[in-house]
Structure 1
Amino acid sequence: MQSSYNIWLVGISFAVATLASYTALDLTGRISLQMSARLRHAWRLCGAAALGVGVWSMHFIAMLAFSLPIPLGYDFALTSLSLGLAIGASYLALYLTTRARLTPARLLGGGAIMGIGIAGMHYTGMAALRMKPGIHYQPAWFVGSIAIAMGASSAALWMARALSNDDERHVVRKRLLAALVMGVAISGMHYSGMAAADFLPGAICGAARGVNATWLATTVILFTFAILAATLMVSRFDARTSFLVGAVSKLNGQIVRLATLDTLTGLPNRSTLTDRIERALQNSRRQRSGFAILFMDLDGFKTINDSLGHSVGDEVLSAFAQRLLLCVRSTDTVARLGGDEFVVLAESLSSREDASALAESVLDRMRRGMWSDSQPLQVMPSIGIALYPEDGDTVDTLLKHADAAMYEAKRAGRSTYRFFERSMNEAATRTLKIQHALHDALGAGYFSLHFQPKFHGNGDALAGAEALIRLNHPQLGTLAPLEFIPIAERSGQIVQIGYWVLREACRQIRRWIDQGLPPLKVAINLSPRQLLQPSLVSTMLEIVTAEGVRCEQIMFEITESVAMQDAPKTIEMIREFQASGFEIAIDDFGTGYSSLAYLQRFRVKQLKIDRFFTNGLDEHGAEGSAIVSAIIALAHSLEMDVVAEGVETETQLDMLKAMMCDEMQGFLLGKPLSADDFSELLRERMATA
């Protein structure tokens, strides 16, 4: 019997298949996100009803597009049964795709069962025509339609599982494309099944008086689109609600994290540490036990941060934090207070020896690591230890005392640890007073310069002077540089102090010239913080020019250890100074780690032998003499002058003369003098010349 199709209804059937497929993909994502088993089951039931109606509607719209030259109708009972089969197959699909695991065996088995269910729906729907005589099916097309149903079902299950994550990139676009593919597969199954059907000549439809085809077409189309659209809207609304709930939850988590953890290292912050120390105090009072606070500060971190940048500094801090976690017990708290300050709260420590062992373990582990992925930097902490209950019974007191002990560790040579002692409070108080004094010193005129004479190798002729700063405070008295310079360096005040030293030295040179005294070369020390200033040389040149002094009368001294922290940059800085007419000396030579290659590239005017080696001429005999002699020979081979510091005995003076040392300075030859006293020395030298 000749058949035909309504092309518009065929198109609508494909649209319904595609919409149903997209609904299935979207529902899979929603069900996977549900945490409650009851909610997942409810979503599967509702989704199966909507998806089943969609698949069944595609089939029946396609059936309604099919026409024969006889009246057609559909048996209501069989039509309802086919709808039940569609809903059952849809539930199976949603159940399989939202399980914890979808193994290949489950995929193929589920695809086969679902394919048979969809094929059963199709052929049950065909049976609802109640053709007499019955429909004859071609075996090849019949088997092919079932195979297509199984393959399409397996592909649909796989795509639904693969695209179940709503957070995946471009997921809507991917689901639309997958829905089109699934729509083609579902339609292909239906029309291959229709191709398998042969309607014999003279056959009649026994259900022609059943469900009216026109009414059924209109009703199915409207209700199907309504149900699928409503399901999608509910799914999207739930997705939006879930997104907002997730966003709020994530924001709350971030707020809690910001309030309790350090953002750079992920360690507990000051607030969290305070809470844990409070809890430790309560537990220790109840159990009558003790605990320790280890306060740490990274040695030389400011130089790393200023010279290599904050990004490298952050990497160093993060690496230190991770290594520190490995150095302590799992029950200890490691926190970052800010900057390069870290604290370890070690609870239930039974003795002072246990705290020492923990501190030594930290220092030992820190000596073994490279601290930055981009820079081979090793950083070491100075550690201060305060114990409960000996050193305090409040959070603030324990932290303050551990901090004071840490500064004592720095004063003791750094990279070590110290326990808090009552005398440290006095040192900490004095440090605070010096900080306040430095803040007012420049404006109040508390600074002054002393000049230590330098003599030529014969020990008689004056070669120049080294400018040494003093702090004369009305309450603190006269402070030596060793006491206030490190504090000024840490605070950054050393930069402005350095400019003041140069300006005051130039003014004094100008006074000597105006008084008719011989102009001498004055050496001025440069600090590590000064060397980090990009405009250092230009500023120094402006000061010298403004005071009317020639650059040749100023020599800047850089300690060997500072020069080698960033040797290439030091070389660049030295060249810039020399191009402006200044001379450079390497101070404290022998205490750093210079290589001959860099020493040759520095090409400075002078090397100043550290007083340790000068003292060794007396203390170490021939060995000490050999070292100093080698340094002098090395410097002369590189066309550098040598200055020996700390000459305090006649023996040292005689040996240095014999070694052809170019210049010497020390208490034996001349102590640091005020500007007026040094002027008198110049006058005396002129009178005897």
Structure 2
Amino acid sequence: MQSSYNFWLVAISFAVAMLASFTALDLTGRIFVLASARLRQAWRLGGAAALGVGIWSMHFIAMLAFSLPTPLGYDLPITAYSLALAVGASYLALFVTTQSRLTFARLALGGVLMGCAIAGMHYTGMAAMRMEPGIDYQPAWFALSIAIAIVASTAALWLARALSNDEDRFVLHKRLAAALVMAVAISGMHYVGMAAANFPVGSICGAANGVNSAWLATSVILFTFAILIVTLMMSRFDARTSFLSGAVSRLNGQIVRLATLDTLTGLPNRSTLTERIDRAIGSARRQRALFAILFMDLDGFKTINDSLGHSVGDEVLSAFAQRLLQCVRSSDTVARLGGDEFVVLSENLPSREAAGMLAEGVLERMRQGMWTDSQPLQVMPSIGIALYPQDGDTVDTLLKHADAAMYEAKRAGRGTYRFFERSMNEAATRTLQIQSALHDALAAGHFSLHFQPKFHGKGDSLAGAEALIRLEHPELGAITPLEFIPIAERSGQIVQIGNWVLRETCRQIRRWVDEGLPAMKVAINLSPRQLAQPNLVAMMLEIVRDEGVRCEQIMFEITETVAMQDAPRTIEMIREFQASGFEIAIDDFGTGYSSLAYLQRFRVKQLKIDRFFTNGLDEHGAEGSAIVSAIIALAHSLEMDVVAEGVETESQLDILKAMRCDEMQGFLLGKPLNAADFGALLRGKMVAA
């Protein structure tokens, strides 16, 4: 018999197929991310019912679009059986695609079973027409329809799994495109199956019951669209809820991380360390056990930050943190307090010596320099150790005492460790007091300058002066430079203090000139922290010019030890100072490297003999004189002037004069004087002349 199709119902059947395919893809992505096995199973069952109805409806609407010269109908039980096959095929699809692993064998088996189930649904639906005589099927077309069903099912399973990640870029667009392909495949299978069917002339539909096909088609269409859309909306709503829940969970995790971990290194932060030390105190008290706090500060880190920048400093901190983790036990806590301060909490130690061995192990491994990451280690820690219970029984006390021990390790030469001792409390308290005094000293005017006269070696005529800083605090009294200079160096305040010394020296030189006194050349000491400043020369030049003083009136002194720390850079800086009109002197010569090769390359104006060698003129007799004589001869051969420091006896003065020492200074010749007294000395020398 000649058959025909209703175009609109065919189009609607294709739309149903596409909607069912998109719903299947979306459900797969939803089910795949569910953590609960019960939830996954519930979604599989509900989704299978919705998808089964969708696929079955596509075929049923397409069948309603089909018409013959004879009335058509469908047997209800057989039709229900075809629906069950569609639901079963849908469950199989969701089950296969939502497994943790989708192997090729499982994909192939699932595609065959699902394709056969869909084909079975189609031909069972055809059988529900109960045609008399029965439908004849062309074997080639029949086989092709089953092959299409299997291939389409396999492709659908693969696409569903491939597009199961909701976080993929453009995943919804990809699912829409995949749903279009799947709808073409599903519809193609149906219409190939229909092409395989041959209805003999005169056939009668045994299931024709007179039900209006238009009404039936409308009901099925509306019912199907409603189920699929509701299912899709529930999937999207649940996905949105899960996304928001996951976002909140991740945000909570980030908040907890920020609250408990250091953002740069990933180590526990101060608050977390405090909690763990508090727990360690409770545990150690119950078990009468011993634990140690190792407080570490990186030597020379501020120089790296100042000279190479904070990004390089951050890299150094991160590298040190990772290496420190490799130096301690897995049960130890490694934390960063901030800046370049790290703490190790080591519990259940058998003895005090075990804490020392741990510190030695950290220092030894850090000294290796080159690690597996092939990056040289640029810093070493100084370590202070406090033990529970002998060094404290609270978190604050233990950390404070470990910090005090760490500063003692720095004073002992850096790159070492020290155990806390009770005497360190006084030193730590004094250090804190001086730090506080330095903080306000510049603004409050607690600093002052003294000037120690320097005399020519041939007589008592003034050659110049050395500027010496003094600190007079209203509560602490006079604080010697030996106390506050190292503290200012560690804190970085020495840079501001050094700038103040130069500016105040220039102003005093100008005052003396305004009073009609001769313009003296004044020597000023440069600290290691100042020398690390990249714009030091430009800064010094700007201060001198602002104060209206000629550069020739300022001489900068650099200690031999500091000069040799980075000799090539020192040479470059000396050249830059000299090009600007300043003179340079090497201070404390003989106490450091005493490298003749670099001394020749420095080409400075003056060489200052350390007071140790000046004292040796009396204490060591001929041997002491030989050393000083050799230094003076060496300097003169390099066309440098020589200044002897610490001249305190007449015998020293006579020997130095005999050796043709160019300049001398010391208590015998003149003690450091304040600006007014030094001005009076200048005035007296003018009158005597």
| TM-score, normalised by the number of residues in structure 1 | 0.88
Structure 1: distance between partners of 2:458 and 2:250: 78
Secondary structure of the corresponding residue to residue 349 of structure 2: coil
Structure 2: distance between partners of 1:276 and 1:471: 42
- C-alpha spacing 1:196/1:634, structure 2 compared with 1 (3 Å): farther
- Cα deviation 1:391-422 (Å, max 9, x = unaligned): 11111111111111111111111111111111
Structure 1: distance between partners of 2:479 and 2:402: 26
**Which amino acid in structure 2 is aligned with residue 411 of structure 1?**
R
Structure 2 matches for 1:115-514, cutoff 5 A? 115-209=115-209, 212-369=212-369, 376=376, 378-454=378-454, 463-514=463-514
- Cα deviation 1:57-87 (Å, max 9, x = unaligned): 1112222222233322222222111111010
Q: CA deviation at 1:246?
A: 1.4
**Which amino acid in structure 2 is aligned with residue 397 of structure 1?**
T
- Cα deviation 1:236-292 (Å, max 9, x = unaligned): 111111112212222222222222222222222222212211111111111112111
1:607–1:635: 8 Å Cα contact kept in structure 2?
no
- C-alpha spacing 1:9/1:557, structure 2 compared with 1 (3 Å): farther
Structure 2: distance between partners of 1:613 and 1:108: 94
Q: CA deviation at 1:433?
A: 1.8
- Cα deviation 1:546-603 (Å, max 9, x = unaligned): 5442121112345567678888987886676555433445656788899999999987
Q: CA deviation at 1:358?
A: 0.6
Greater Cα offset, 118-127 or 465-474 = 465-474
Greater Cα offset, 243-252 or 50-59 = 243-252
- Cα deviation 1:171-201 (Å, max 9, x = unaligned): 2122112111211221222222222222233
Q: What's the % identity of the aligned pairs?
A: 80
Structure 2: distance between partners of 1:202 and 1:64: 20
Secondary structure of the corresponding residue to residue 498 of structure 1: helix
Greater Cα offset, 136-145 or 567-576 = 567-576
Structure 2: distance between partners of 1:678 and 1:496: 25
- C-alpha spacing 1:61/1:669, structure 2 compared with 1 (3 Å): farther
- C-alpha spacing 1:430/1:49, structure 2 compared with 1 (3 Å): same
Greater Cα offset, 373-382 or 334-343 = 373-382
Secondary structure of the corresponding residue to residue 343 of structure 2: strand
Structure 2: distance between partners of 1:652 and 1:181: 105
Q: Show the counterpart of 1:36.
A: 36
Q: Show the counterpart of 1:74.
A: 74
Aligned length: 688
Root-mean-square deviation over aligned CA pairs: 4.0
Extract unaligned runs of 5+ from structure 1: none
2:10–2:61: 8 Å Cα contact kept in structure 1?
yes
Structure 2: distance between partners of 1:623 and 1:170: 86
Greater Cα offset, 413-422 or 31-40 = 31-40
Structure 2: distance between partners of 1:76 and 1:90: 21
Structure 2: distance between partners of 1:90 and 1:624: 105
- Cα deviation 1:307-327 (Å, max 9, x = unaligned): 222222222222111111111
- C-alpha spacing 1:512/1:218, structure 2 compared with 1 (3 Å): same
Structure 2: distance between partners of 1:571 and 1:175: 69
- Cα deviation 1:625-646 (Å, max 9, x = unaligned): 8999799969977x87676767
Structure 2: distance between partners of 1:464 and 1:95: 95
**Which amino acid in structure 2 is aligned with residue 222 of structure 1?**
L
Structure 2: distance between partners of 1:567 and 1:264: 34
1:76–1:210: 8 Å Cα contact kept in structure 2?
no
- C-alpha spacing 1:170/1:525, structure 2 compared with 1 (3 Å): farther
1:588–1:609: 8 Å Cα contact kept in structure 2?
yes
Greater Cα offset, 393-402 or 435-444 = 435-444
Structure 2: distance between partners of 1:600 and 1:83: 101
Structure 2: distance between partners of 1:49 and 1:245: 27
| TM-score, normalised by the number of residues in structure 2 | 0.88
Structure 1: distance between partners of 2:607 and 2:144: 96
Q: CA deviation at 1:203?
A: 2.4
Structure 2: distance between partners of 1:298 and 1:495: 20
Structure 2: distance between partners of 1:614 and 1:138: 121
- C-alpha spacing 1:539/1:315, structure 2 compared with 1 (3 Å): closer
Q: Show the counterpart of 1:88.
A: 88
- Cα deviation 1:201-253 (Å, max 9, x = unaligned): 33232222276432331122111111010001111111111112212222222
Q: CA deviation at 1:544?
A: 2.9
Structure 2 matches for 1:596-635, cutoff 5 A? none
- C-alpha spacing 1:468/1:84, structure 2 compared with 1 (3 Å): same
Q: CA deviation at 1:660?
A: 9.2
Extract unaligned runs of 5+ from structure 2: none
- C-alpha spacing 1:171/1:629, structure 2 compared with 1 (3 Å): farther
**Which amino acid in structure 2 is aligned with residue 415 of structure 1?**
G
Structure 1: distance between partners of 2:101 and 2:365: 44
- C-alpha spacing 1:411/1:635, structure 2 compared with 1 (3 Å): farther
Structure 2: distance between partners of 1:439 and 1:187: 84
